[in-house]
Structure 1
């Protein structure tokens, strides 16, 4: 019983994040509960002692997380007036103090330090998920995958109720949401699409896991039917979410997941990476062309104030003023409003730039972009290692696909700004990090119960 409770710890936390952490700017009480639970998990991991050392990949993953924390903390360090006033983008602030006749105080690099602290707290669930996998090992890969599958099915069912109820449907969980589209447990339909995409490769991993365990043909066939049905539900969900990027990424994700099944117990040929890359480029290019009329390259993008084309250009212009150090995590809304054309501002406001890399360039500057590059290189290396091995864990391979889908979707959206998708992302990072702390069976831990006896009838 204790063993089952332990391995169910991180799946239960993942389920909580998926159900409660679906908004980036709402759901304060639910996200507060997730952050408190994350702190408890982090304290538990810090107090635990393991007999086996961390693998190199796990140390690298944790090292990248520590670097992110260090960058955030550096943005909160007070700087002398002679230093911060000469940083890019700070001249208007210094001029404001001079106009008021007040001396320049010590100020941090972040223009909104309390917003920076708040944004850092939203990263706690992801940090707890990564630590719980690579340090505590309090999980079972198949349970994590089933959490994704079950929440995806329920989300699409909830999305059907949302569509049936119309604009005033009570099935929508958040006041600020994409009315008229499936959102499930999220406030943003695009984030539901990201979850559905990340779930697809784990469906393939669940089937492979059943085959590797030597299940009977009848049980394996039954599981295949269930997983295929889940895949069909996901297709319906992607259509209901009306996410153009989600539709564009569906084909390469499905192709990579099929490759995961067909490459069971064999190495993947090198040319398959080229095929998948071409498939990804073609699918994305098709999705962002007619007749979809998206708000990045379509006709409406040139006139709509809330289009991605307009937000991208405004954010890029603002980011250029604050390079190379950025304006601080959590400062996007204030900086963006200062750079908007007042004559074009309507009743909508931009809460995020709908392109995480551009927003990161504004808030964290060159150091943030270098950290992203370091992570991408780590992910690519782990992907090569896992797909080159004959005996690679199917769940680890599935995680490489899910990470790729989330990274690609982040070009035109911000899924990692939610606790739900950041937890999924951290889970995938933990699975590909070759964690040291997988919980062993209780019999293996107890030497008294590990003995084997022979008996004859």
Structure 2
């Protein structure tokens, strides 16, 4: 028996709210118990979506295919391959010989070199898939509230980051996080680069909502208002909302600066310029401030970009491996060539990469490739490459259907802001690994669900107009009544008894 629709409609937003709040709370979800909690919530989400069948998911064929392939492929890497040995699979010979020398029985032959790690990687992968499906199953009104919740979480994290930077070198506000050195804003994350990634995702949403609400008011636009009316606007609820989103954006911008992450600051600079170019002609739903609004928003964005450029030169610091990424990439390319086209197995990078690690970095534990695309191809081979191209194609195709002429509703601003945030993180993955951090996986999937949501602008009700002939006849009838009932000006009144 299915639950009532009212209960079914509440479950996805409640589960999404729990994931948004809990995802970064415990070391950005990277410790085992935090990861387990997120995985349990993901399983609960799948059960809820299956149980309440009336919550139909409107997904395109390409979306269904890509999500199914993403969920099933790691399981295929765990299937035993009867009649084959690791000697028959590309890249596995050396690992098989080492296991035999150590007396370790690897069991049945699989595409994954370490099946246990692949199973663990598959369980983590369920989290973003569940978040995406929950987002698509949630109403637009509930999604707008969840976006506000995400901005609240981001603002709290940003304030914690500012306190961490201000209290340096004391580790008081680092909540027990062991870092190489204090003095950076990290929130509850273990990496300032990953923390910056979460902050610029939230910044794009806050800036989009700021542009949507600034000057938005029923009635005349800002161009047609007097100075007094413009000032009074900021005392209204709409004005308060615009001020709140602007304040949150400023807070997030400061926190990104104090992460001292070079990639984070560069991408934020790019994001601010893109927001100005995208929304300057659509401030307040339309072009509420006219050409002056376009000029002012462009000038502010340019000033912020110049300021961030100065910060980038004088304020940022590099981590110990930032200059050695190209050396890591060389080793990853060698590994891809060894394991291609089948890959080493999902989640096995850390355990298998030591074979390809450069001796100059032997004193480091290289747990990530610092380029998510290369690591995915290293682990998944040609299937991972096809999935990357498929998801990128889906992302690019959505821009053509999302961009509409005319005035935009507030949710479309959210979608465009989400699209810009996704773009920044996709660029960031060229030099980092945000999408291997559970918390950022949750937020990335949430923004992807917002961006690909099949939202349509509500059509304004058409005013019923009378036909021209009918309106003309009505005016003629009114004129005749006026002539017959009222004396005409300039004519003397006639007394019929005088005839």
Q: TM-score range by the shorter chain?
A: 0.7 to 0.9
1:184 aligns with 2:178: no
Unaligned runs of 5+ in 2: 1-5, 220-231, 288-297, 457-499
Query: Which residue of 2 is the match for residue 238 of structure 1?
Result: 256
Q: Distance in 2 between matches of 1:39 and 1:214?
A: 44
Partner Cα separation in structure 1 for residue 383 and residue 165 of structure 2? 43
- What is the CA distance between 1:169 and its match in structure 2? 0.9
| 1:80 Cα deviation from its structure 2 partner | 3.1
Deviation for aligned residue 1:132: 1.0
**Distance across 2 between alignment mates of 1:7 and 1:120:** 22
TM-score, length of structure 1 as denominator length: 0.79
Task: Give 3-state SS (helix, strand or coil) of 2:24's partner.
Answer: helix
Greater relative contact order (CA < 8 Å, ≥ 6 in sequence) = 1
Tell which deviates more after alignment, 327-336 or 150-159: 150-159
Tell me: CA distance 1:21–1:132, structure 2 relative to 1, closer, same or farther (3 Å).
farther
Distance of aligned partners of 1:350 and 1:55 in 2 relative to their CA distance in 1, 3 Å threshold: closer
Partner of 1:355: 371
Q: In structure 1, the residue corresponding to 2:373 is in which secondary structure?
A: helix
Paired residues of 1:133 and 1:139 also in contact (CA < 8 A)? no
Residues 8 and 139 in structure 1, CA contact (< 8 A), matched pair in contact too: no
Q: CA deviation at 1:81?
A: 5.0
Kept in 2: contact 1:18–1:151 (CA 8 A):
no
Q: RMSD across aligned C-alpha pairs, in angstroms? A: 3.6
Q: Secondary structure at the match of 1:43?
A: helix
Residues 123-172 of structure 1, C-alpha deviation per residue, up to 9 Å, x if partnerless?
23212211112235497232222223222221121112322443551422
TM superposition shift of 1:421: 1.1
Q: Which moved more, 1:11-20 or 1:240-249?
A: 11-20
Do the aligned residues in 2 keep the contact of 1:315 with 1:359 (CA within 8 Å)?
A: yes
Given the alignment of the two structures, is residue 225 of structure 1 paired with residue 243 of structure 2, yes or no?
yes
What residue is the counterpart of 1:452 in the other structure? none
Q: Counterparts of 1:332 and 1:169 in 2: how far apart (Å)?
A: 32
Report the alpha carbon displacement of residue 318 of structure 1 after superposing the two structures with TM: 1.8
**Distance in 2 of aligned mates of 1:234 and 1:40:** 32
Structure 1 97/244 Cα, relative in aligned 2: closer, same or farther at 3 Å? closer
1:367 Cα deviation after fit: 1.2
Distance 1:91 1:173 in 2: 45
**Is the Cα contact below 8 Å between 2:260 and 2:317 reproduced in 1?**
no
Matched, 1:254 2:298: no
Compared CA separation, residues 413 and 48, structure 1 to 2 (3 A): same
Q: Secondary structure at the match of 1:122?
A: helix
Give a deviation string over 1:266-324, Cα, whole Å, max 9, x none. 79xxxxxxx9xxx9xx99xx89x97789869x9x866xxxx322222222222221111
Change in CA separation of 1:380 and 1:179 when aligned onto 2, cut-off 3 Å: same
Normalising by the residue count of structure 2, what TM-score does the alignment of the two structures yield?
A: 0.73
**Rg larger for:** 2
Q: Deviations over 1:6-38 (max 9, x none)?
A: 5742551243244336546x3221221121122
Residue 41 of structure 1: how far off its partner (Å): 1.4
Seen in structure 2, the aligned counterparts of structure 1 residues 220 and 182 have a Cα distance that, compared at 3 Å, is same
Residue 43 of structure 2 is aligned with which of 21, 30, 39? 39
**Which residue does 1:50 correspond to in 2?**
54
The whole-number CA distance in structure 1 between the counterparts of 2:99 and 2:25 is 42
Output aligned runs, 1:16-415, within 5 Å. 16-20=21-25, 22-23=27-28, 26-50=30-54, 54-56=58-60, 59-82=61-84, 84-96=86-98, 106-137=108-139, 140-166=142-168, 169-173=171-175, 175-177=177-179, 179-180=181-182, 181-207=184-210, 210=213, 214=218, 217-218=233-234, 219-264=237-282, 307-342=324-359, 344-346=361-363, 348-390=364-406, 393-415=412-434
Unaligned runs of 5+ in 1: 268-274, 438-457
